[in-house]
Amino acid sequence: MNKPLDLPILSAAQPQVGVSRSHESAHLHVSGEASYVDDIAEAQGTLHAALGLSPLAHGRLLAIDIALIKRQPGVVAVLTAADFPGENNCGPLLHDDPILAADTLSYLGQPVFAVIATDRELARRAAALAKTAIQAEPWPALLTAREAHAAGHYVIPPMHLTRGEPAQALAAAPHRLAGEWAVGGQEQFYLEGQISYALPQEDRGLLVHCSTQHPSEMQQLLAHALGWSAHQVQVQCRRMGGGFGGKESQSAVFACVAALAATKLRRPVKLRVDRDDDFMITGRRHGFDYRWQVGYDDDGHIVAAEIDLISNCGHSADLSAPVMARALCHFDNAYWLPHVAMHGYCAKTNTQSNTAFRGFGGPQGALAIEMILDSVARRLGLDPLVVRQRNFYRDGQDVTPYGQRVEDNIILPLTDRLIATSDYHARRAEITAFNAHSPVLKKGLALTPVKFGISFNVVHLNQAGALVHVYTDGSVLVNHGGTEMGQGLNTKVAQVVAHELGLSLARVRASATDTHKIANTSATAASTGSDLNGKAAQDAARKIKSRLAALAAQLLDCPEDELRFGGDQVLAGTGRSIAFTELVSKAYLERIQLWSDGFYTTPGLHWDRAKLQGKPFYYYAYGAAVSEVLVDTLTGESRVLRADALHDVGQSLNPALDIGQVEGAFVQGMGWLTTEDLVWHPKTGALLTHAPSTYKIPTANDMPADFRVALFDAPNREDSIHRSKAVGEPPLLLPFSVLLAIKDAIASTGPASCDPHLRAPATAEAVLSALDAIQPTARVG
């Protein structure tokens, strides 16, 4: 019988890493059989929770009319902050973020109480009475980062990173430029919303199915909130329908409320929020405001720079400190800055607490220097690419402002290859000719590079564990601490294990992430999923392989160092062989351990958080992109005609998955910089763009008409897993080229050497505003 969805059995000649393999759940995704938290069959007696949200951006909570809510149909219980037997806190770093508001209302949309009802819709209807049930005294609110910065309101003290003598170098520079700019935040917009399903277990235990990137953190926060020990709480996640950072820390409030309700009522409780409530409750990518001064010479070399980076953190710290630290460490991007002073301010506002998002501050830091270099080039009348090339890191200029040496610099050969393959110079001439004869439609072109540091910038998080089980039939199960959110982590880890044991990929299966299997794990974040968990799984597999090799050497009468595992068998140098399944069966009879744990820590990292100095990154991932856009100067609409991306993933574990990650990151970053506009009411603090009808993520129609993605074929110089490099976050910086190509098109309508002020996201309104600023009469008539 034909089974088209079955994984293929691979021949002995086929390698298991460095080749394209389909995502391990691809056949389940397309058939609709992939199981997410909301697909788990509900246990008998399951109740549903909904959250009552603050109607004020800032105020003092006076009372909640709980009796009113309890009278609503289907309501079983109403829970408030006072019901937590443990700590009413879900802040990942500082204890400054209550699960349910207790005394102070900090933003419009903050959870204040939870309704538990027999039906989800009944729970939501009762929770919607929050506007009536909550009595509060309104207080003045700070709604923008600039307001908070002016008032000196921060979630953590300011950070400062300085190298050289920037003040003196600025004063002596041949040319100086000062500017202000801002980039908006970005909603993660995972397709599967926030959800937790808590099921009480025997003897005061709790199982929580949670859509989260950080099961161990959820386990710890749940234990703290319940006043329990961690071993009583089990958190499990088979897969997420997207995360992008939004489910690293901010799945906690939903997990904690579901857990509290389940333990108090001794019944299963599910909390799945509506998309509007998800927008209103959770945070997103930090928006940044910038103020800079830069000094440069006649050739465009940066002599000195000083910059304020002001991030909108929202009402609590969440992960804002490491986000800002990474932004400061990525301001240099691919460029040598001899004298630089960076000042990071984490502004505290009465809005949702912003959090991790793909890139984790790196894009916000690197974007600033790209905008600065573009402005320098335009004022000098040079092609911005030329100015970028002149400022690239080179030998002798290879130490970052935070003290790490750039030892793996491939930005020059990578960009040279992209310039050639994209026909950059010929297209630049063609676009100039096109614009000279096209009064309404204008084209723009830009090339931007990427240098992105890989590792958590909190050193102790760079660790991972794994378990590998070999069963007596020769099949293998691997469990690791990473979470699968569509990026293909389980596929890559399975490939690594299959390669180590010489097996076809179909013999290896990855199971759900589970805190009862791998303890004390780090979040699947910072692009470290494959690096950490792949190495841990490799370690476990090699331990098993070593035990099996000792037995195989006896059976085949061959030294261990002459054995080769491959093609589902073990081969001796003499030509004799034994099937892997037969070897495993004999090992079991000989009482040889057929399972093992694995552990990995990233070597060589050190970081002084106070001085912002050290080696926070194991290596750098590089890339570059060329984008060509078309702008309608009458409507402000823009379209990407062609995008060429060349990205460094080292020696790829799975080229198909990596190319998919580059493509996805490019489009997501393009959305951040062009269409995804977050708007808050200037007086009430209400988020006005809280649904797909008003918040515009990219669609298939926004894809570049001609999209060319290639991988740069250079193995990682560091001993990463099979010399590969991380691919999750770095390519999100590639669509800087889209924003700057739009700016290039706008500049073609103005006088020579003009430097349009184009805000981001570059919506049609932003494009028209920039056009009007450089040529007010351009669209008249």
Tell me the C-alpha distance between 369 and 15, whole Å: 42
Is the CA virtual torsion 633, 636, 639, 640 positive or negative? positive
Q: Which of 780, 711, 715 is nearest to 749 (CA)?
A: 780
SS3 358: coil
- Give a three-class secondary structure readout of 362-425: HHHHHHHHHHHHHHHHHHHCCCHHHHHHHHECECCECECCCCCECCCCCHHHHHHHHHHHCCHH
Tell me the C-alpha distance between 212 and 206, whole Å: 16
DSSP state at residue 724: B
Phi then psi for residue 466, to 5 deg, are -155, 155
Using a 10 angstrom Cβ sphere, with 0-12 exposed, 13-18 middle and 19 or more buried, the burial of residue 769 is middle
Tell me the C-alpha distance between 282 and 240, whole Å: 17
Tell me the C-alpha distance between 37 and 195, whole Å: 7
Residues 6+ apart with CB under 8 A from 365: 309, 326, 327, 328, 329, 330, 331, 333
Helix axes 384-391, 362-380, angle to 10 degrees: 120
CA angle 128, 132, 135 (to 5 degrees): 120
Amino acid letter, residue 75? V
Phi then psi for residue 162, to 5 deg, are -130, 140
Distances (CA, A) of 338 to 166, 298, 325, 393, 548: 8, 16, 20, 11, 55
SS3 501: helix
Residues 6+ apart with CB under 8 A from 712: 410, 414, 417, 622, 623, 646, 647, 648, 649
Dihedral angle over CA of 92, 98, 100, 105, nearest 10: -130
Phi then psi for residue 615, to 5 deg, are -125, 85
DSSP state at residue 186: B
Question: Which helix H or strand E contains 648, and what residues bound it?
Answer: strand 638-648
Amino acid letter, residue 433? A
Catalytic, 430? Answer no
Q: What is the DSSP string of 191-259?
A: SS--EEEEEEETTTEEEEEE--S-HHHHHHHHHHHHT--GGGEEEEES--S--TTTTTSTTHHHHHHHH
* Helix, strand, coil distribution of the chain in percent, nearest 5: 30, 25, 40
Tokens of 758: 């184009």
Residues 6+ apart with CB under 8 A from 700: none
Question: By the 8 A CB rule, do 123 and 48 touch?
Answer: yes
Amino acid letter, residue 766? A
Tell me the C-alpha distance between 362 and 325, whole Å: 9
Question: By the 8 A CB rule, do 335 and 373 touch?
Answer: yes
Helix and strand totals (H; E) in the chain: 20, 29
In the chain, the N- to C-terminal Cα span, in Å, equals 69
- C-alpha of 554 from chain center: 49
Q: Which of 192, 306, 370, 729 is catalytic?
A: 729
The catalytic residue positions are 729
